[in-house]
Structure 1
């Protein structure tokens, strides 16, 4: 995967026969994917529901903290807490919650990056498919070394809120101009994030994000789950490095 899910591509592995919701006749895993939101619920409603879940010890939701809040900021200007839990769909890929603080960043800066991820590893195509009243539909194709190509068709829902915060949700969708292609895995992806300036720390942007994905094919979910925390930190470090090199981070006196 890549920044938008904040992790790097896993190495190629042979087919796995672990039961992931069913096995088809060719022994490829058939994984259960999340269904649509309940009627009347918005992406913001879903984000708020997830945000209310406790992540501490003994929580009833299954969250396990993989990287807790460090006492100090990293040298590259950010710090994060990362937690994982099983997904309610029954898919063996975990959902990730990331809470972060980023010195010098702004909500608009992070939104701009999500809309145009310049350092997407293995990016082959990036197309603006459609502009919507509250966002966009975008198509991309990615080819990582040693892996079959994967493509995505994403719906962006964007809400620039009155308090200056920005909510953005990216969820896999369908578009008539970009149907699934034979020989290319169509991944499933969900990323729901809120970016807001800190009320306690001047010049610091706070982020809460929820990410769930299934890249399909023969990648064992156990491999993906094991790489999520470290990959998330590494990709945020790379993102902050890019911002710094371009002079996009704000400085405080």
Structure 2
């Protein structure tokens, strides 16, 4: 088995990717901002699965810290066979209501870090003629929902192109596009979950399991669950005002 590097690995989908890849026997490199939380999770994974787990604390919006993770991905002496670009944040308010620095940080995390890490990984993987990349996007990539949708649309478009372009070189690239998932994501952005119908929620293990399988199958896009596949199909013909969906609401 190869080494898998996962960003945003301390919670949510990132942590679930770590669990499932460790269960498959992959060594891990866990990337997130909170060293203490990463160390605790790494110890748990080592104890449970016996795999090698490396901890690499980094804020991917900081150029120097992003560069350190890029260097780890590019290191030929310690090749990364699976890259999961999962780190992400959400912004609760409308674009004009958010501070510009928050919007720029949001863009750096979703787009610049994904681009930088994919660039390093694709150079190394094409030289070895094997490798896998999963870029976590969202069904929001298919609808107009502000700068979050725009960033995820970039991830979607780039991943589709990269899969087509690099598959002949042995590298599989997939954009994973889940809908609402029970993780800490919405709590961290201060968003109420009460107005979202129960049937819209997915569980992280299912999302990750389907994403990994679709990546192995060479699919450029993975949309977990039939309900969200149907929603994406309907979004192509729905009026623009309906595509925007309900306004985000703060927690009370």
Return the TM-score normalized by structure 2: 0.28
Q: Which is richer in strand?
A: 1
Higher relative contact order (CA 8 A, sep 6+): 1
What's the TM-score once normalised by structure 1's chain length? 0.28
More helix by share: 2
